[in-house]
Chain A
């Protein structure tokens, strides 16, 4: 009995395996180089002054405190609206909706929203929130645009979390005489907390990284505004928008890399937190 694999088959096998390993290596290398280079060029430029002051034409300095604040305002405003609406939609889909076709329609709409590129969100946000609703270039307009953008993420993650709640919980509650809303409030939502929080954290990541949708709706302003309600009506650039403006439009590469480093650190934190939340809040 011949007991060796033919040369041709062995050669193919080695080449293919090598190709697979190469590609995986490329992927990891890309990340390493990206993060490495950004930190190399940027970490050194993160000064206390950069982080805590605003841009000053007088002193000819650049500070990104306003942008940091604007980013926080946008995150807050977006989540305050998107979380209830998204969770509500998910609850409707999972707990209330009876008509299967209707559920599919909503899910199709959600899928569609996911596929729309952010520049179109920016454009429609500009047309609808800034112009039609008269909000102008403002944090509020930007946040409302991002609400629609992040809705699919929150709906999907909440839905998945709701689905993991065993039906036996629901049956038990109903058998004790609880109304649907009471059951949802006291049993189902607490059980799906990890998924909801995970979705929120994911959305924060997307909001921080978003630029095209915000440029046309929240603008590129860099004035320091510490009063939240006032900021809502102001034009303000988030960190990502600021990176674009400073690096691409003004050639301030050092500032650009500093902001990029901050953004990467935020991405790392968000990635870590998502895993942490999954582990910590998981009810076995």
Chain B
């Protein structure tokens, strides 16, 4: 079952053609990795899935992105609801300068009315879902800025989970973290895919090979190849993919 499908997606930043005719399916409850060298458009593509590119000056998007049977770029689509269902975690952990509790409660408070007890449960569930509950449960009212980088990133994942999305977009979530935290988050992702669809942008090929089910290779705005991770890494169909994977350029 594909949860998101991009059809003929093109994106221009002013006169720069950043995404060229992207057609790809994102399968439900799997981890899809987007790989490619710097500037290839993988992050840009990720951001088209929750319309975060809308905020860039001079951006023009044509084509379709189908989610739950509807084109998210159609008129009348409300981005605030879209982003509730498709969450995002950024490369640099960006918790709000508030308490841990308020960070997690931010999303739910926006979207619905929760009683205090319901909110408490939601916060705990989200933090557990991000494998960080144990480390913060005694300091929920303290500022989130006091956590380590790895903890902050898991906090951001918990925050994304708090609004109960279907899909989690992760833009190089571990590139700013140390190896131990990276490992923790990779383990977390394997857990997450049981309940959520995960799309991850990574410049670390080994990471993509380790954790993803499906991999898409981007190059200069084009999606060159996509397929099951094992196939892409062991028997790439396109020479460019093979060159990238074997490290001939990067």
Contact flag (A, B; Cβ within 8 A): yes
Interface size of A by CB at 8 A reads 6
Q: Is B243 positioned at the interface, with any CB of A under 8 Å from its CB?
A: no
Q: Which residues of A contact B231 (CB under 8 A)?
A: none
Q: Is B85 an interface position by the 8 A CB rule?
A: yes
CB under 8 Å from chain B, chain A span 127-159: none
Of A1, A4, A5, A9, the contact of B68 (CB 8 Å cutoff): A1
Residues of B within 8 A of A9 (CB): 80, 110
Is A2 an interface position by the 8 A CB rule? yes
Within the complex, the shortest CB–CB distance from A12 to chain B, in Å, comes to: 11
Is B78 part of the contact surface with A, judged by Cβ < 8 Å? yes
**Nearest A-chain residue to B76, judged by Cβ:** A3
Q: Does B80 lie within 8 Å of A1, measured CB to CB?
A: no
Any chain A CB within 8 A of the CB of B176? no
Asked if B77 is an interface residue, CB under 8 A from chain A, the answer is yes
Q: B81 interface residue, CB < 8 Å from A?
A: yes
Tell me how far the C-beta of B103 lies from the nearest C-beta in chain A, rounded to whole angstroms.
Answer: 20
A residues 1-28 in Cβ contact with B at 8 Å: 1-5, 9
Residues in chain B near residue A5, CB distance under 8 A? 78, 80-81
When distances are taken between beta carbons in the complex, the residues of chain B under 8 Å from A4 are 78, 81
Residues of A within 8 A of B76 (CB): 3
The distance from the CB of B116 to the nearest CB of chain A, in whole angstroms, is: 20
Main secondary structure of the interface of A (DSSP, over half): loop
In the assembled complex, B230 has its CB within 8 A of some CB on chain A: no
Contacts of B68 in A (CB 8 A): 1
B70 in contact (CB, < 8 A): yes
Q: State which residues 83-114 of B face A: CB under 8 Å.
A: 85, 110
Question: Which of B78, B82, B85 counts the most A-chain CB atoms under 10 A from its CB?
Answer: B78
Rounded to whole angstroms, the CA-CA distance of A5 and B110 in the bound complex is 11
| Alpha-carbon gap, A2 to B68, bound state (A) | 11
Chain B interface extent, by class: 10 to 19
Complex CA–CA separation, A156 to B78 (angstroms): 48
CA–CA, A3 to B68, complex, Å?
11
B4, chain A: closest CB distance, angstroms: 13
A9 to B82, CA, bound (A): 15
CA separation between A9 and B70, bound complex, in Å? 23
A3 to B80, CA, bound (A): 9
* Chain A residues with CB under 8 A of B70: 1, 3
B57-84 vs A, CB cutoff 8 Å, 1 = contact: the mask equals 0000000000010100000111011100
Q: How far is the CA of A5 from the CA of B81 in the complex (A)?
A: 7
Closest CB in chain A relative to B76 CB, distance in Å: 7
The interface residues of chain B lying within 8 Å CB-to-CB of A1 are 68, 70, 81, 85
Q: Cβ of B80: which chain A residues have Cβ within 8 Å of it?
A: 5, 9
The minimal Cβ–Cβ distance linking A90 to chain B, given in whole angstroms, is: 34
Q: How far is the CB of B68 from chain A (nearest CB, A)?
A: 5
Which residue of the partner chain A has the closest CB to B72? A3
Q: Which of A228-282 contact B (CB under 8 A)?
A: none
Q: How far is the CA of A76 from the CA of B85 in the complex (A)?
A: 67
| Contact residues in A for B82 (Cβ distance below 8 Å) | 3
Cα distance A1–B76 in the bound complex, in angstroms: 13
Residues of B within 8 A of A3 (CB): 70, 76-78, 81-82
| Chain A min CB distance to B48 (Å) | 18
Give the complex CA separation of A5 and B77 in angstroms: 10
Separation of A258 and B48 alpha carbons in the complex (Å)? 60
Distance A94 CA – B77 CA, assembled complex (angstroms): 56
What is the bound-complex CA distance between A9 and B113, given in angstroms? 12
Task: Give the complex CA separation of A9 and B80 in angstroms.
Answer: 11
- Closest Cβ neighbor of B77 among chain A residues: A3
Q: Which of A198-242 contact B (CB under 8 A)?
A: none
Nearest CB in chain A to that of B67: its residue? A1
Distance in angstroms between the alpha carbons of A5 and B76 in the assembled complex: 11
For the complex formed, measure the closest distance between the CB of A4 and the CB atoms of chain B, giving whole angstroms: 6
How many angstroms between the C-alpha atoms of A2 and B77 in the bound complex? 10
Of chain A, the residue at the smallest CB distance from B80 is: A5
Q: For the complex formed, measure the closest distance between the CB of B108 and the CB atoms of chain A, giving whole angstroms.
A: 14
Nearest CB in chain B to that of A13: its residue: B80
CB distance from B110 to the nearest CB of A (A): 8
Shortest Cβ distance from B124 into chain A, in angstroms?
26
Report A140 CB to chain B, min CB distance, Å: 52
Q: Please, which residue of chain A has its CB at the minimum distance from the CB of B82?
A: A3
Least CB distance, A51 to chain B, in whole angstroms: 50
Between A and B, 18 residue pairs with Cβ closer than 8 Å are A1-B68, A1-B70, A1-B81, A1-B85, A2-B81, A3-B70, A3-B76, A3-B77, A3-B78, A3-B81, A3-B82, A4-B78, A4-B81, A5-B78, A5-B80, A5-B81, A9-B80, A9-B110
What 16 additional pairs, Cβ within 8 angstroms, besides A1-B85, A2-B81?
A1-B68, A1-B70, A1-B81, A3-B70, A3-B76, A3-B77, A3-B78, A3-B81, A3-B82, A4-B78, A4-B81, A5-B78, A5-B80, A5-B81, A9-B80, A9-B110
Would you list the 5 A-B pairs with minimal beta carbon distance, nearest first? A3-B78, A1-B68, A5-B78, A3-B81, A5-B80
